[in-house]
Each structure stands twice: as C-alpha cells, then as structure tokens.
Structure 1
C-alpha cells in the first residue's frame, strides 16, 4: 500500500473452497487487494485441517492478509490465525467474543 491509497476502500475477502491445495489458495493472494481469508475445514479431520492451516497462515500473513479459521478456536490458536468465524446463536457468540477478546478477531 502506498501513501496515495485511500483509507476507505473496498478489499477482497476470500473463502477457501473445498478440495483446493494450499498452493492454489496461496496463488490466489496475487489476485488483488485481499483483506482476509476465511479458511473453513471443508469436512477435513482436525489433523488435516490444522496441517493445511499451518501451511497457509504464515504465507497469507506475510502478504498482509488476515486469516480467519472457520469454526475451531483451538486450531486458530495453534496456527496463530488472526481470528475465528463461528456460526452461533447470540448468547454463544457473546460467550465466544468474551472468551477470545484481546486474543483474536471473532466473526459470525
């Protein structure tokens, strides 16, 4: 970003599709001004999902892209993601926000 870039601009949010290798997800980072990547487990078991996230998170963050792990705060913490995206009712969401406040972003 240069000094001429307006502070209020549209940016891209990517959502990783199922069955796409980490290399292809990371290649998409070249596609524009990307703010964040939402990384869902897409049906993977915990170990496979964490391994995928471990490959993608440092590359994305190195490119200035925040990584949001969908649904699993344990994996989000282990891979040092920037946030978590949850599907929750208001009370559960409030509890999640309170528990993770100051540690990572929480989206719903």
Structure 2
C-alpha cells in the first residue's frame, strides 16, 4: 500500500471522537497535520509523497467531513474550486503550513 493511501486510510479509521477533537479547532488540525508531516519526514518520504498524501486526505475531508470552523470552510471551498492541476500546489502549501507549526 502506498504511503498516500495509508494517510487517507489513517484519517478514515479515526474514531468520530478523535475526528471531532482534531477538526473542531483549526490549531488542533494544524498540529495533527504537522505531526503527520514530521512522521512522514522521519520515514524518509519525499516532499512529493507528502504532497500526494495531503491531496488524498484533503479529497477525503472535502468529500466526507463537514468543516467545523471558518478556516476549514475556506480550505474546503478552495479545494472544491480547484481543478486537479491546482490541487497539488494547494496540498503542498498545506504541508508547508503544517510543517511550520511544529
């Protein structure tokens, strides 16, 4: 299973309680993503692999989860408005944002 698939599966397998804790506050969301980026870096994932994983997670969140705050709402709207070509730089920027928080 590819690392990108594992990232999406990890999010899908979170309990509803864990999802709520992560998604109810944007800072918690950033911290969670930052921890996952650091974990991926320790595993030797390239920036491209981290970006692909972020794209999978963003696709899942946009499709399956309702935003719980203004920041997540904005991210969802940006994601839904972007075509495939524009999603990669958005995902890469999200990885960089998450990486800077830790």
TM range (shorter): 0.3 to 0.5
Q: Comparing both structures, which one devotes a greater share of its residues to helix? A: 2
TM-score (norm 2): 0.41
| Greater strand fraction, Structure 1 or Structure 2 | 1
Asked which structure has the greater RCO (Cα within 8 Å, sep 6+), the reply is: 2
